[in-house]
Amino acid sequence: MSQSRHVPVMLQRCLDLLAPALQEPGAVVVDCTLGLGGHSEALLERFPEARLVALDRDKEALRLSGERLAPHGERATLVHAVYDELPDVLDRLGVPRVQGVLFDLGVSSMQLDEADRGFAYAQDAPLDMRMDQSTGMSAAEVLNTYPPGELVRILRAYGEEKQAKRIVSAVVREREKEPFTNSARLVELIRAALPQAAKRTGGNPAKRTFQALRIEVNGELSVLERAIPAAVEALAVGGRIAVLSYQSLEDRLVKQVFAAGAANTAPPGLPVVPERYAPRLKLLTRGAELPTEEEIAENRRAAPARLRGAERIRESLG
């Protein structure tokens, strides 16, 4: 069931980007966002000499992926962790450096498809949105308890929602009558709050608010801010990293980390660039690569994907 439902995004391109780093026997590749294991399974099959370490904060995803990857035995190590915990995970496993890292930052198909998780605005469900349901605040708690100014900030910063004030005014008015518990009521409220012109563009009008709540509930951007530099640091020289992001905030963050790593930071005018100023990364993609039209036709969830890759070309100094 899980396999027919889950189509990994830009799979072939991700494998090709990582391939030069994963040819040697014993190479370690980390899938930081295991999900239903589509990318992980493909990595194990394409690189039969490699070892996989895969992380996910969602225990249900780990269970389902464990079944899927069981045929690969001890070559796959699955860990319940958030991806900014990568340095600790590698430390515990006694792995000093890795040859490949993959991030697929999309919400997993399972989380979108399981009605009771509350990620999707297309069906009524409890407003939960936690990727790890054993910890933290739900989306309903955020909506019901955050001060109005904080809610406006979240919708603007994480959802890029221009109508944040209108939506939050309506939320505050409604939550005083009765706390929010389900997604359908929130979708209805957003539809009613938005001016006609705003409803005509960009798909479901609730999309940006749901994205903002999901990012807040799971601390996604702050986790990513820590995780991408940590993953770059974990790469051996010659190691490669590939990151799939699905919205501009994530992509911008990845772009900044890669660009900083690929920059020559020497003061201008030096005849020879000292080692400590030389770039540590080489960019493998020109800007962000996009999925093909054929792929989008086959898998609509690939449409917003942006892929960036980089190779570690020297050690950090100092």
Residue whose C-alpha is closest to residue 213's, from 144, 159, 287: 159
Give dist(CA 189, CA 135) in Å, integer.
28
* 57-88 burial: b if 16+ Cβ within 10 Å, else e: bbebbbebbeebbeebeeebbbbbbbbbbbee
104 is in an annotated binding site: yes
- C-alpha 106/C-alpha 120 separation (Å) is 13
242, containing H or E segment: strand 235-245
Q: Which helix (H) or strand (E) holds 207?
A: helix 207-218
* Cα 40 to Cα 53: distance, rounded to the nearest angstrom: 9
56 appears as a binding residue in the annotation: yes
Q: What are phi and psi of 274, to 5 degrees?
A: -60, 150
CA proximity to 98, closest of 140, 139, 50: 50
Distance CA 56, CA 62 (A): 7
Q: Is 251 annotated as a binding residue?
A: no
CB–CB of 44/75 below 8 Å? yes
Binding site listing = 37-39, 56, 83, 104, 111
Binding site listing for S-adenosyl-L-methionine = 37-39, 56, 83, 104, 111
